[in-house]
Amino acid sequence: MKSLNQFLFCLFFTASLLSFSQTSINDFKYVSVPESYSFLKSKDQYQLNSLTIFLFEKNNFKVLNSFQNYPSDLSQNSCLLLKSDVISIKGFLKTKLQLVLTDCKDNIVFSSEIGKSKLKDFKKAFQQALRNVFTSVGDLNYTYSGAIPYSTTTSSAIVAVETIENQVLSPPAPPATKAPPTPITEVEVKALAVVVPPTPVVIAPQISSVKNTAVSGLIIKPTNSGYDFVDSITKKVMYSAQATLFENVYIIEGQSGIMYKRGSAWVHEYYEQNKTIIEALNIRP
């Protein structure tokens, strides 16, 4: 029994280490760049957004900048994407910029060193400051690791530990007429412990079915970062859509897939059991 408890402790300790491990920037496959920054007056003013894309690609990042090449694996797991933003910092007689990268949960994954410029010409000053910002990005030596951020593997491991504890420490009641069942051995416990699923393989989906009006009576409410889709009866937020760099394309917070407009209709597209499901939502006026 003592060795069994030690085994369960080691398994739980390993699962705990996994659950609290820090996410690396190398775990993210894509980065998005907006069409404009809040401190500028127009899209791609001073070619700053175009320069951001160029500098990301120079440092081995895969940048998404058009809906036509929206990858299927990102539809399945929106947490593969990092959102980038450049912030202007007030400074006397200096242009100061900082790059911030956030994940699908709006956690800050990376903040760059502040890039500075003393040039008086606005375009040259902003571009020089941005190039200085990317010096610290280059120091990251980014290379995609092939990992899947925020996968469910860790939680499955913890569930496995709890299941084994229940089976071993709380044996079932014996049958009315038969002898009590044979206790579970340590070898059998080890076999039971191997229930953590492997990292899922991303397969390019094929559109195979369309579900209409799976969710009915939704009311759209604008938010600071997109829209909330609220059930008209329960008042529950069914979807919280966060804006992306693509027009009318949204990432769904806490759920797989994307939300987008097809004409005047709203569509939820996601991947399930080797199929891409296209779900037309019933929106109330």
Please indicate, yes or no, whether residues 179 and 221 belong to a single structural domain of this protein: no
Please indicate, yes or no, whether residues 121 and 158 belong to a single structural domain of this protein: yes
Give a yes or no: residue 285 inside a domain: no
Print pLDDT tens along the chain (285 aa): 545 444 444 444 444 444 434 578 999 999 999 889 999 999 999 999 999 999 999 999 999 875 456 788 887 888 899 999 999 998 788 999 999 999 988 889 999 999 999 999 999 999 999 999 999 999 999 999 887 776 533 333 444 444 444 544 445 555 555 555 555 455 444 444 444 444 443 333 344 444 443 445 888 888 888 889 898 888 888 888 888 877 788 888 888 788 888 777 888 888 777 677 888 888 887
CB 268 within 8 A of CB 279: yes
Please indicate, yes or no, whether residues 221 and 116 belong to a single structural domain of this protein: no
How many domains is the chain partitioned into structurally?
2
Domain boundary among 160, 177, 203: 203
Please indicate, yes or no, whether residues 180 and 216 belong to a single structural domain of this protein: no
**β-pairing verdict for 258-262 and 62-64:** unpaired
Domain boundary among 203, 234, 266: 203
CB 4 within 8 A of CB 186: yes
Range of the structural domain that residue 238 is part of? 207-280
CB 133 within 8 A of CB 112: yes
Please indicate, yes or no, whether residues 194 and 222 belong to a single structural domain of this protein: no
Please indicate, yes or no, whether residues 253 and 113 belong to a single structural domain of this protein: no
Please indicate, yes or no, whether residues 131 and 162 belong to a single structural domain of this protein: yes
Domain boundary among 177, 203, 229: 203
